[in-house]
Structure 1
Amino acid sequence: MGQSSKFSHIIDFIKTLYPGQDFIPLHEPRFTGNEKKYVADAIDSTFVSSVGAYVNRFEEMMQEITGAKYAVATVNGTAALHMALLVAGVKQGDEVLTQDLSFIATANAISYIGAKPVFLDIDRKNLGLSADVLQAFLDEWGQKGAEGTINKKTGNRIAACVPMHSFGFPCEIDRIAAVCSEWNIPLIEDAAESLGSYYKGKHTGTFGLLGTYSFNGNKTVTCGGGGAIVTNNEQLAKLAKHLTTQAKVPHAWEFNHDYIGYNYRMPNLNAALACAQLEQLAGFVENKRKLAATYKAFFQDIAGIAYCEEAKEAKANYWLNVLLLDNREERDAFLAEANNNGVMSRPAWTLMHKLPMFRDCQHDSVAVSQWVEDRLVNIPSSVRV
């Protein structure tokens, strides 16, 4: 089978999974529950901004789903990560270890504080930060001191580590957590893409000091925007909630503020939508895992294309299904043919260290990240109706 006919075969198969659609998006939302009812109720209550019953309920539901003791609703996932870094003690001039293959929001949130990302390589098995690479980097460049771990190359404090569970696949987060503990580096999980994913029976986002999530329009569940922070640390949860509410000191009528605050709370209207979506999370994940099993069976018979699966001890939400082609040329040819025929597909993000604003950031060889960037394709992954 030639390249073009092979790709046409794949495109035709994807179209059978989403029948009756002239254009098949990469990941579109499904509003099949109480969304309209809850949003109308929020409107009728007149509480449509950052205070309301649905904001409170959303935080309770996130605690129930993840098993975390505390949850703080935010306006989006980037704001959640920015705030998590702040309350974890990251300061201007610090460094934060993260992965080179990541959505830009991770590096942006670090930069908002005036800290600097250090980009490390990923694990080919799960597309997330490699625990082995993290350990090797710290063995070479880390120096333990009274104020924490210092990067011997730059003299700056390494104030946090932020791995991301890429495309919903859990990384080896327990091993990463162990390395961070050894080096006294706070662990903040970017779980933006992995709501409903588990590693060794524990929900992603709950292995570190804090975890963050996104509810953007293309996520497994959405409220248009929206984000959340989870933690088991009561002090950090209270501080995050305070800072995201403009750091207003509670009072019936007076306006006093004791920190530089942020307008980062999730509006009640969005929370109403989020609550309805969270009610359906388990069903959505089951649906997406069935789709993943269908893709896996199909691609077993397609030469030259590897289908990415969850690791043995992981349970992924399969937010986006991932293919790895033989090389960049094959990747580009597939992307062109799929998108030209109404099947939305996309490549991996450009590696962070290649972007102009991050070119002076320290990074390791990132050989696996480059290998994956050259080959990765995401294919349609919406919940099927």
Structure 2
Amino acid sequence: MLDATRRLEGFCRATLGLDGPVPLHAPRFAGREWDYVKDCLDTGWVSSVGAYVDRFEAMVAEAAGTRFAVATVNGTAALHAALHALGVGPGDAVVCPTLTFVATCNAVAYTGATPLLVDIDPATLAIDPARLRALLAGWSGAPVKAVVPVHIFGHPADMDALNAVAAEFGIPVIEDSTEALGSRYRGRRCGSLGLMGTFSFNGNKILTAGGGGMVTTDDESLARRLKHLTTTARAPHAWAFDHDEVGFNYRLPNLNAALGCAQMERLGEFAAAKRRLAALYADLFADCPGCRLFRPPAFADGIHWLNAVLFDDPADRDRFLAETNAAGLQTRPCWTLMHLTGAHGAAPRMAGLSAAEAVAARLVNIPSSPWMVPE
């Protein structure tokens, strides 16, 4: 058995006292979730209209440090709506990292545009600003209409450098912050660092609404357009149904928003618990032979959505995955790189994606639920 396996198993079983299967990331409901969801049931406001939707939007806007937030049915819909609101469509390209969950590139494809894949900086796991500049400087294909940096595992990308490159080429930036609610970059909140930010509230995220997503922005006109697009583009009227363009039925049900509001009330607790867990993992793997815990640069105060271990030898990575899962500890490799998937393997890309390939061959995510550690 690898020393890394012994350490993780001992930490989860003996130190934390966790019996049975230990999930990678699971929700915990210990606040007012029951009260708020029951209120929806008691009042009959269960669908896409209700006070909890407005409240959830206001709470996420405050947490992201933006003036506006627009709720959607999931994080993929949030990113699709954001791209559509910018006018991204067929014949366009959108820069995405090859190391990301497939939803990032899928949202681009939904618009009819093409993902343009770029390599990562191993220090952040996000888009490398220098590689982005080289890609854009040499690109002669479809017009690039947006750059979508992803805050991988909740660790902020180097947004100042990325924004500077994007501004040099006149390209707007949309943050894929789906894993980074509560993360900060140089003291500024993720979701407020580009023209728009997007969030996810899936069951495995930092907090959950049972689903749900959000677009954040400081641009009032964009916020109004997003609200219109995501509510089937229905023209305002007391009773008539007229739709002035093709919109999307991306409305978030009040039931989900109620759950999200209760979870948002505990965001500070979740963030503190996740940072405690990350600190414990840093000590656990500090001198572990053949591997190290991923630690972001000093400018990143991340939420540590998923902690990650990087192995020196890919064979040890594979062995660790087998041993930990056999022991009931859910670990997983990072997602298949986009240029290696059947969905986006034909997408255009920069020459060489070696940094992402090296990381993907050696990385394992380890259990990271905030409830694992006591206060």
TM-score for the superposition, normalised by structure 1: 0.94
Residue 374 (str. 1) matches residue 361 (str. 2): yes
Q: Could you tell me which residue of structure 1 aligns to residue 347 of structure 2?
A: 361
Q: By how many angstroms is 1:5 displaced?
A: 4.8
SS, match of residue 73 in structure 1: strand
Q: Could you tell me which residue of structure 2 aligns to residue 74 of structure 1?
A: 72
Letter of the aligned partner of 1:178 in structure 2?
Answer: A
Cα deviation, 1:259-317, whole Å, max 9, x if unaligned, reads 10111011000000000000100110001100100000111121111111132011110
1:15/1:24 contact within 8 Å kept: no
Q: Could you tell me which residue of structure 2 aligns to residue 201 of structure 1?
A: 187
Once the two structures are superposed, the pairs formed by residues 330-349 of structure 1 within 5 Å of their partners are 330-349=316-335
Q: Could you tell me which residue of structure 1 aligns to residue 32 of structure 2?
A: 34
Q: Could you tell me which residue of structure 2 aligns to residue 10 of structure 1?
A: 8
Q: Could you tell me which residue of structure 2 aligns to residue 55 of structure 1?
A: 53
Letter of the aligned partner of 2:56 in structure 1?
Answer: F
Q: Could you tell me which residue of structure 2 aligns to residue 102 of structure 1?
A: 100
Once the two structures are superposed, the pairs formed by residues 133-148 of structure 1 within 5 Å of their partners are 133-141=131-139
> Using the alignment, how far apart are the partners of 2:194 and 2:3 within structure 1?
47
SS, match of residue 124 in structure 1: coil
Residue 283 (str. 1) matches residue 269 (str. 2): yes
SS, match of residue 245 in structure 2: coil
> Using the alignment, how far apart are the partners of 2:63 and 2:345 within structure 1?
38
> Using the alignment, how far apart are the partners of 1:6 and 1:200 within structure 2?
32
Residue 226 (str. 1) matches residue 212 (str. 2): yes
Q: By how many angstroms is 1:168 displaced?
A: 0.3
Residue 188 (str. 1) matches residue 188 (str. 2): no
RMSD of aligned alpha carbons? 1.1
Cα deviation, 1:239-262, whole Å, max 9, x if unaligned, reads 110111111111111110001011
Q: Could you tell me which residue of structure 2 aligns to residue 83 of structure 1?
A: 81
2:4/2:320 contact within 8 Å kept: no
1:97/1:118 contact within 8 Å kept: yes
**Which of residues 3, 10, 25 in structure 1 aligns to 2:23?**
25
> Using the alignment, how far apart are the partners of 1:367 and 1:270 within structure 2?
41
> Using the alignment, how far apart are the partners of 1:88 and 1:53 within structure 2?
28
Residue 249 (str. 1) matches residue 235 (str. 2): yes
**Which of residues 32, 42, 45 in structure 2 aligns to 1:44?**
42
Cα deviation, 1:222-245, whole Å, max 9, x if unaligned, reads 011010000111111101101111
Q: Could you tell me which residue of structure 2 aligns to residue 311 of structure 1?
A: 297
Q: By how many angstroms is 1:15 displaced?
A: 2.5
2:275/2:303 contact within 8 Å kept: yes
1:18/1:24 contact within 8 Å kept: no
Once the two structures are superposed, the pairs formed by residues 314-333 of structure 1 within 5 Å of their partners are 314-333=300-319
> Using the alignment, how far apart are the partners of 1:197 and 1:325 within structure 2?
25
Q: Could you tell me which residue of structure 1 aligns to residue 250 of structure 2?
A: 264
2:3/2:289 contact within 8 Å kept: no
Q: What are the ranges of 5 or more consecutive residues in structure 1 without an aligned counterpart? A: 142-151
Q: What are the ranges of 5 or more consecutive residues in structure 2 without an aligned counterpart? A: none
Letter of the aligned partner of 1:278 in structure 2?
Answer: M
Letter of the aligned partner of 2:69 in structure 1?
Answer: A
Q: Could you tell me which residue of structure 2 aligns to residue 296 of structure 1?
A: 282
Counterparts in 2 of 1:134 and 1:20: CA distance versus 1, 3 Å: closer
SS, match of residue 147 in structure 2: strand
1:23/1:342 contact within 8 Å kept: yes
2:278/2:307 contact within 8 Å kept: yes
Task: Provide the identity percentage.
Answer: 47
Q: Could you tell me which residue of structure 2 aligns to residue 146 of structure 1?
A: none
Counterparts in 2 of 1:43 and 1:162: CA distance versus 1, 3 Å: same
**Which of residues 141, 145, 149 in structure 2 aligns to 1:163?**
149
SS, match of residue 228 in structure 1: strand
Cα deviation, 1:114-142, whole Å, max 9, x if unaligned, reads 1000110011111111111111111222x
Q: By how many angstroms is 1:89 displaced?
A: 1.6
Counterparts in 2 of 1:135 and 1:5: CA distance versus 1, 3 Å: closer
SS, match of residue 215 in structure 2: strand
Counterparts in 2 of 1:100 and 1:211: CA distance versus 1, 3 Å: same
Q: Could you tell me which residue of structure 2 aligns to residue 144 of structure 1?
A: none
Q: Could you tell me which residue of structure 1 aligns to residue 123 of structure 2?
A: 125
> Using the alignment, how far apart are the partners of 2:209 and 2:17 within structure 1?
26
Q: Which runs of 4+ in 1 moved over 4 A?
A: none
Q: Could you tell me which residue of structure 2 aligns to residue 211 of structure 1?
A: 197
> Using the alignment, how far apart are the partners of 2:16 and 2:51 within structure 1?
37
Q: Could you tell me which residue of structure 2 aligns to residue 147 of structure 1?
A: none
Cα deviation, 1:51-97, whole Å, max 9, x if unaligned, reads 10000000111121111011000100000000000001211110000
